[in-house]
Amino acid sequence: RDCQQADIKYLSGWKQWKRTSSKSLKKVLNEVKELSSYLELWRHDIRSIEGKFGTGIQSYFSFLRFLVLLNFIIFILMFSFVTLPTIVAEYGIFNSSFAKIPPKNTEPHCTVYKPSGNKGLVYFYTYLKDLLSGTGFLEVTSLFYGYYTIDAAWLSVLRYNLPLAYLLATFAYLALSLLWIIKRSGEGFKQNLVHAEDQFQSYCNKVFAGWDFCITDPNAAQLKHRSLRYELQTDLEEERLKRKIADRTMKEKLRIYSLRIFINIIVIAVLSGCFYSIYRATVFSQENSNDVSNTNFQANLLVQYLPSMVITLANFIAPQIFSFLIRFEDYSPAFEIRLTLMRCVFVRLANIGVLLFSLWSQISYCATDKCKACGYNYELYPCWESEVGQEMYKLMIFDFIIILAVTLFVDFPRKLLVTHCSCKPVQWCGLQEFGISDNVLEIIYGQTICWIGTFFSPLLPAIATIKYFIIFYVKKISLMHTRKPAARPIRASSSNFFFLVVLLIGLVLAFIPLGISIAHIPSSKACGPFRSFNTSWAVVPDTILGFPTGVQQVLHGIASEAFAVPFFMVICLVMFYFIALAGAHKRVVEQLREQLVMVRFDPIFCTLKV
């Protein structure tokens, strides 16, 4: 510092001012960053959870906070560019107006849409049914796709292209989610690489650096002791299994591989049963939801919620079967956990895909010429996008109800029994563990529903934000009062990375049905902003045709093979360069680790290096 102060005297006035300004700016930025940390959502709550239960459980609540912020930003995006312009234009705010262009070259019967809005005297239970299923008065609100029927809005002399804005907002929230997840997962990947050490380093890290100094609660400290002991036992068990695998005879290998093949056949059979049940439940619900009398409230609600209930049941039963079968496959403990989790992820996310496939099979089924003229089943689905949005809405609401019901009617009674009943069976069962992975899969399932449903229900992110906001406090109360931390926790760094990878899988899964809905399935001719186009994607080439000729030629050139092939080759070369660079860095890291081992065991080597 003294040397720097002495050098300042010999600098020019401009350089002195530049250095002083740089220091002042850095100081201001640090102070702003420190102040903004106090405005961070749930900062005190998450610090308190980390202090009592360690970084593993804290990672779940931090992940939940990330999803709340992500959904809130998606809601702001959709509301600002889709919902707000529609409301402003329809009510004539700021001297605005709107235009509705009737579809051209479309049969008149394709444009008939009569929403089931409630008229006249309505019973209270009808409002309750509509609130839970998204029908009735909710169907004609800005919550669903069918509300956005204007083609253009004028604010003074400015023209706002709502169909294009709707499509671009959809692409924007998907791109935002992808970039944000990749950024966070990149940070987790760096931490994960640090922990990818050999067994000896793993043992040393657990013994000398395994304690979590954030823990202040005695019970949490006892659990951390058991956790470290369990991890050491797991490492020893994995070493034992490695020796056992190396010593296996051909007969034993044949037996274990045959058993694994048989168990995987059972897993496939369980998955097939789940998928077929969801398909039949969806078809039955769609065919009979309108046949049940409105006066029979319970039957109508049951039929409408049948797919959601079957999916929830499959999400509960299938993981229990997988956890039981994995014991017979003779894998290492760590691989058992990973394989079971991946199977559970596949079940939860694939169930959503099966539901959408079932809906599309009903939407696309056409047996008459009138239906083929529309391109979709206009009789059952005059506004099929709103129907899909209602299914996503019901899945989200039912998932939220199940989370609350489990906490209120399972966890709390179990806590009371364990506390006030000294019976051996009750004490043997004990409190339910707070499984981090299970809870994360639960909210990732809900987030995937939100990503898919936002195109069909633009305000669904607002519901997801409120849902996760409430779930945070529900899970916090459940953790503090009705559950205990898992005896087999996972490391915070690896868990954060795993959570984001699974979330990325859910986002990629959301791309598929949205891409099919936008580019392949004909859009409804009776509702929505795309009723004048054959598909939702058709608004893009239609907008390009309105550009100047030079801009059109540039865009067509970018979309042509002459540009795409060289661009793909350049991307491949860049990718191969970074792969080679990563391999070189990995080799350097291995060499440095070898040198550290030599320094540890060879004092002469250490002296020579000095």
Shared domain for 528 and 394, answered yes or no, is yes
pLDDT in tens, 491-532: 554 566 777 888 888 888 888 888 888 888 888 888 888 888
Question: How many Cβ atoms sit within 10 Å of the Cβ of residue 433?
Answer: 14
Is residue 565 one of the residues assigned to a domain?
Answer: yes
Do 122 and 186 belong together in one domain? yes
Q: Which residues contact 155 (CB under 8 A, 6 or more apart)?
A: 88, 89, 94, 95, 96
Residues 585, 533 share a domain: no
Largest CA-CA distance found in the chain, in angstroms, rounded: 94
Indicate if 11 and 49 belong to the same structural domain.
no
The 3-state secondary structure of 529-594 reads CCCCCCCHHHHHHHHHCCCCHHHHHHHHHHHCHHHHHHHHHHHHHHHHHHHHHHHHHHHHHHHHHH
Same-domain status, 509 and 433 = yes
DSSP E strands: which ranges in 260-360?
none
Rounded distance, CA 386 to CA 457, Å? 7
Q: How far apart are CA 49 and CA 55, in angstroms?
A: 8
147 CA to centre of own chain: 26
In a domain, 233, yes or no: no
Q: Do 288 and 407 have their domain in common? A: yes
Compute φ and ψ for 184, nearest 5 degrees: -70, -40
- Beta-carbon contacts of 64 under 8 Å, excluding residues fewer than 6 positions away, are 443, 468, 471, 472, 475
Quote the number of domains for the chain. 3
**CB contact at 8 A, 62 and 40:** no
In a domain, 221, yes or no: no
Residues 585 and 450 in one domain: no
- Report the interhelical angle of 436-453 vs 55-78 (nearest 10°): 10
Q: What share of the chain is helix, strand, coil (3-state, %, to 5)?
A: 75, 5, 20
What letter represents residue 419's amino acid?
T
Three-class DSSP category at 327: helix
Q: For strand 483-485 and strand 432-434, is the pairing parallel, antiparallel, or unpaired? A: parallel
Domain that includes residue 318, residue range:
40-196+254-559
Q: Are residues 492 and 602 in the same domain?
A: no
For residue 20, tell me if it sits in a domain: yes
Rounded to a whole number of angstroms, the distance between the first and last alpha carbons of the chain is 28
SS (H, E, C) 456-473: CCCCHHHHHHHHHHHHHH
Number of other residues whose CB lies within 10 A of the CB of residue 443: 23
Distance set, CA 517 to CA 88, 102, 521, 530 (Å): 28, 22, 5, 12
Say whether 432 sits in a helix, a strand or coil.
Answer: strand
Q: Identify the burial level of 294 via C-beta atoms within 10 angstroms of its C-beta, where 0-12 means exposed, 13-18 middle and 19 or more buried.
A: middle
- pTM, two decimals, is 0.80
Do the domain assignments include residue 218? no
The answer to whether 271 and 343 are in contact (CB under 8 A) is no
**Do 352 and 434 belong to one domain?**
yes
What pLDDT sits at residue 292? Answer: 47
**210 assigned to some structural domain:** no
Non-local (6+) Cβ contacts of 54 within 8 A are 212, 214, 215, 220, 223, 224, 485, 489, 492
For residue 177, the model assigns a pLDDT of 92
Which of 539, 559, 579 finishes a domain?
559
- Whether 333 maps to a domain, the answer reads yes
Residue 203, domain member (yes or no): no
Q: Are residues 80 and 13 in the same domain?
A: no
Do residues 12 and 137 share a domain?
A: no
- pLDDT < 70 regions, the chain: 1, 4-14, 16, 36-38, 51, 54-55, 94-105, 116-125, 187-202, 214, 220, 223, 227, 230, 234, 289-298, 333-334, 426-427, 429-430, 485-496, 559-561, 600-610
The pLDDT value given to residue 171 = 92
Rounded distance between C-alpha atoms, residue 394 and residue 389, angstroms: 9
Beta bridge partners of 152: 99, 161
Pair 446, 492 in one domain? yes
